[in-house]
Every structure is written in C-alpha cells, then in structure tokens.
Amino acid sequence: MTAEASLDGLIRCGWSEGSQLYRDYHDQEWGRPLHGDDALFERMCLEAFQSGLAWITILRKRPAFRAAFEGFSIERVAAFGDADVERLMADPGIVRNRAKIEASVHNARVARDLGASLDTLLWSYAPAPRKRPRSLSDVPAVTAESTALAKELKRRGFKFVGPTTAYALMQATGMVDDHIADCWVNVSTR
C-alpha cells in the first residue's frame, strides 16, 4: 500500500484513511517529534495497550485513558496502588487488561526512579534520519535501534515494551519518519 489521495485531495499514508480519527492522528501527531517525560510515558503506555488490538481502538479510548491514568503523569501513576488497579479494571472506557495496567503502573515507577529523563533515554536510540519509505511494505516492524531500545528498557525494568512496540513508539513520536514518500505531512525528526 502506498500513499493515497484523500477526498480533500491530500496524499496520505494509506493506513490513515480508515476514519477521521485516523486522519487527524496521522496529520497532527504521528511521526512528529514528541518530547517530555509524561508525554512519552503516555505514548509508551498506549503502544503497550495497543498490542494485539487495532490502533483505532486505542484512539477511541484515549480520552478515557487520559482521565483514568491522571494525564499519564509519571509521578501520579507511580503512586497508584492495588485500589487504583481495581478501579482501572472496572473502567469500561479503557482496555481492561490486568497485565497491561499493572505494567503501566510498574513502568511509571521505573521511569520515576530512572535518575535521568525518560525523554533523554528514549531519544538516545533514535536512528539517523533516512529516506522515507516508498510504500508501507518498505516499513519495518523492528529495527536494530528498536531492538536495542527494547533491550535497554527491559534491562532497566520496563515491561511490555518489546522491539515491535519500541519501533511503533519510535514511529509515533517522530524518532523515525515512516510517512510514505508521497505523503503530504512534512516533519523533521529530532
């Protein structure tokens, strides 16, 4: 699948044409450089929750996720206890997967205790800029950088961030620009 012209005449990556929510996410967020510990923590959590599900599910539930996880504040989520996990398990607005919920709370504690910025850690694995892919079939699911990032995150104690999830995080936060070559979105990495 390559970039496709939309009804508005703009050429976008083919995956973004499923709904207005997808288009808005593609046009305004995906692949744009994102910085800030809490903002990156949110994306890390959402990418983990997405595992095994369609991304549209996460986009639809994103406002509820933000409310349930108190804006993905690392400090606030790190303070969650068993009652909070049960509250989240009872929340129909989010994906109620105990392992992913517990991993998000655990990961907040790891991020809080890093002794360094989560932003600095994640962006240190961003590869050098490269040419945009010609088609979606040219976009990898895993790279050497995402494998190295996942290994480092695991070494530090993070959960639910394997090489594929790490690469999706890199794509979503602009560490790599995987917009198809003909796509109208123009982003600069870093």
13 assigned binding-site residue = yes
| Active centre residues (catalytic) | 25, 47, 55
179 assigned binding-site residue = yes
Question: In sequence order, which residues have a C-beta less than 8 Å from that of residue 6 and are 6 or more positions away?
Answer: 12, 17, 23
Residue 20 exposed, middle or buried by CB count within 10 Å (0-12, 13-18, 19+): exposed
Lookup result for tokens 């083919």: 14
26 assigned binding-site residue = yes
> Tokens representing 73?
């504040």
Lookup result for tokens 């800029």: 129
| Contact in structure between 75 and 102 (CB atoms under 8 Å) | no
CA angle 115, 119, 123 (to 5 degrees): 120
106 assigned binding-site residue = no
- Annotated binding site for Zn(2+): which residue ranges? 13, 26, 179, 183
